[in-house]
Amino acid sequence: MIKVNNISKSFGDKKVLQDVSCEFQSGKVNLIIGTSGSGKTVFMKCLIGLYAADAGEILYSGVNFGQMDDKDRKDIRQQIGMLFQGSALFDSMTVEQNIMFPLDMFTKQSITDKRKRVNEVLARVNLVDANKKYPSEISGGMKKRVALARAIVLNPKYLFCDEPNSGLDPQTSLVIDKLITEITKENNITTVVNTHDMNTVLESGDHIVYLHQGLKEWEGNNKDIIHSTNQRLNDFIFASQFMKDAKAKQMEEEMKKRV
Amino acid sequence: MKLLSHIGRYLQMLGGMFAKPENMRVYGKEFFHQCNEIGIGSMWIVIIISLFLGAVTTVQTAYQLISPLVAKYVIAQIIRDSSFLELSPTIVCIVLAGVIGSKIASELGNMRVSEQIDALEIMGINSKTFLIMPKILAAFIVIPSLVILSMFLTVWGGYMAGTMTGIITDAQFHQGLIKDFLTFNIVFGIIKAFTFAFIITSISAYFGYNVQGGSLEIGRASTTSVIVSCVLILFADYGLAALLLTK
């Protein structure tokens, strides 16, 4: 579990995050949503320690991340897996070498065991026969799956995904969402996803935090979001006519059931 | 103010580099990979430059030595000493600043922009130690070796150009090579090579590691790293000469 207490972050005079508090439970897909410039990425970078928050605290299983010494911070980072927006695969390494890299660095397993683990995670993300390919030789969707495989190869307790669906077609986006959800439930991982993909929000959002101009504006889940009366959230989620109609239809059906 | 900020961040980067490696075997592998990248990748250009530097120096020295009172073997002495003291360490390292420096800056810049450096940090790996330290250590081994190779090739290039065109005889050239030979000149050339190796790798790593933006900024960082490295090499060249050669 990750608990965030009143964190704030500014760059010069610009307040990017203001007094944000929330709790990310394990075994759930926790989403951070918001318009561009709302502070989602900065929030996630604060959570993983790439930015230091100006105020507030971030607790990983009750331990304050900001007050950890370098060694403890390194230890906690080895329990974190991260799926980056652009995949962040190492260009000079093959798919297998990319996934094996954390195992090489932090375990003393034999090469046979490491290969076995790599094949396991590749099979888990439904990617076979790609071991010897370089990142430049595979598609965007495959890159995301390789990055996800690398993120989970050390069995992390925490998984962070920064816009996992950006640049992907809707079908591949659904595959990635499904994988993230399944892996989260199977391994009881605390997963935090930064997204503005509405399919992800409505399909996978076990817990959703909506940010607007650095402030937490709304918190709930994918069931609550349909009934939300928050105007800004509604404008953001149901921006298109299609989504507005879908919401109206859903509300109508629920009303009929009640009657 | 901007210069002071750069100096501060550069020193901070160097300080942050000295941390215990997470896994010596992986770091060792990376070190040998960098030796190969820096050494083999630059060997051919060093060979070509050195041979021509020697040949041109021979022809131009002979052109200027018109007095019959000056013995021919002096040409070989001039080639030997200018190669050991200046041509091989300085000219070769300036070329290497372009070849290796731009490669390091663009490689690290691309890793920064595509979040590969962030990925390393999130994994709990000190990215400065993993990415920069092996490059500097590899350069310490490879660049002085290339400079020593260049010293011999420059002299050989001079010998070939001199003897094949009849400027100097084989015996005169050998006489010039051994006359008043100072071992310190080779040592001085190697000291310069070590200093320049550090400048080339650390400066280009600094500019690459701190890139912000996209491909345009990577290109700018690459160009800036080459310019700054060349200027610092020339400063260090003068500084070392003033420090170690003045009596």
Q: What's the pLDDT score for residue B76? A: 94
Option in B110, B119, B124 nearest A78 (CB):
B124
Distance of CA A144 to the CA centre of its chain: 12
Option in A77, A91, A106 nearest B122 (CB):
A77
How far is A89 from A146, CA to CA, in rounded Å?
Answer: 8
Q: What is the pLDDT of residues A109-124, one digit of tens each?
A: 999 999 999 999 998 8
- In this model, does residue B28 exceed pLDDT 80? yes
A192 beta partners: A30, A160
Chain B CB within 8 Å of residue A102 CB: yes
Q: What's the pLDDT score for residue A238? A: 77
Phi/psi of residue B89, each to 5°? Answer: -65, -50
- In this model, does residue B114 exceed pLDDT 80? yes
Q: What's the pLDDT score for residue B51? A: 96
Residue B118 — very low, low, confident or very high, per pLDDT cuts 50/70/90?
A: very high
Q: What is the pLDDT of residues A22-81, one digit of tens each?
A: 999 999 999 999 888 889 989 999 999 888 899 999 999 888 888 888 888 888 888 999
Assign residue A56 a region (left: φ > 0; alpha: ψ between -120 and 50; beta: otherwise).
left
Residue A129 — very low, low, confident or very high, per pLDDT cuts 50/70/90?
A: confident
Q: What is the chain A residue with the closest CA to B33?
A: A92
Q: What is the pLDDT of residues B213-235, one digit of tens each?
A: 888 999 999 999 999 999 999 99
Residue A1 — very low, low, confident or very high, per pLDDT cuts 50/70/90?
A: confident
Residue A227's CB: how many other CB atoms inside 10 A?
11
Q: What's the pLDDT score for residue B54? A: 95
Contact B122 A50 (CB under 8 A): yes
Contact B122 A48 (CB under 8 A): yes
Distances (CA, A) of B216 to A37, A127, A136, B238: 23, 34, 21, 34
Q: What is the chain A residue with the closest CA to B22?
A: A105
Q: What is the pLDDT of residues B86-98, one digit of tens each?
A: 999 999 999 999 9
- In this model, does residue B40 exceed pLDDT 90? no
Q: What is the pLDDT of residues A74-107, one digit of tens each?
A: 888 889 999 998 889 999 899 999 999 999 999 9
Residue B198 C-alpha, separation from nearest chain A C-alpha, in angstroms: 24
Contact B118 A86 (CB under 8 A): no
Q: What's the pLDDT score for residue A256? A: 80
CA atoms within 13 A on the CB side of A232: 13
Q: What's the pLDDT score for residue A35? A: 86
Q: What's the pLDDT score for residue B189? A: 95
Contact A84 B118 (CB under 8 A): yes
Compute the mean pLDDT over every residue in chain A, rounded to the nearest whole number: 88
Chain B CB within 8 Å of residue A82 CB: yes
Domains of chain A from N-terminus onward: 2-228 (3.40.50.300)
Compute the mean pLDDT over every residue in chain B, rounded to the nearest whole number: 93
Q: What's the pLDDT score for residue A257? A: 76
Chain B residues in contact with A106 by the CB 8 A cut-off are 22-23, 123-124
Residue B197 — very low, low, confident or very high, per pLDDT cuts 50/70/90?
A: very high
How far is B226 from B219, CA to CA, in rounded Å?
Answer: 11
Question: What is the share, in percent, of chain A residues with pLDDT greater than 90?
Answer: 47
Alpha helix ranges (H) inside chain A? 40-47, 70-77, 95-106, 111-124, 140-152, 170-187, 198-204, 224-227, 231-237, 241-258
Q: What's the pLDDT score for residue A249? A: 76
- Determine the 3-state secondary structure of B27 from DSSP: helix
Residue B175's CB: how many other CB atoms inside 10 A?
17
Q: What is the pLDDT of residues B136-191, one digit of tens each?
A: 999 999 999 999 999 999 999 999 999 999 999 999 999 999 998 899 999 999 99
Chain B residues in contact with A75 by the CB 8 A cut-off are 124
Option in A73, A76, A104 nearest B23 (CB):
A104
Q: What is the pLDDT of residues A161-215, one digit of tens each?
A: 998 888 888 888 888 888 899 999 998 999 999 988 888 888 888 999 999 999 9
Chain B CB within 8 Å of residue A259 CB: no
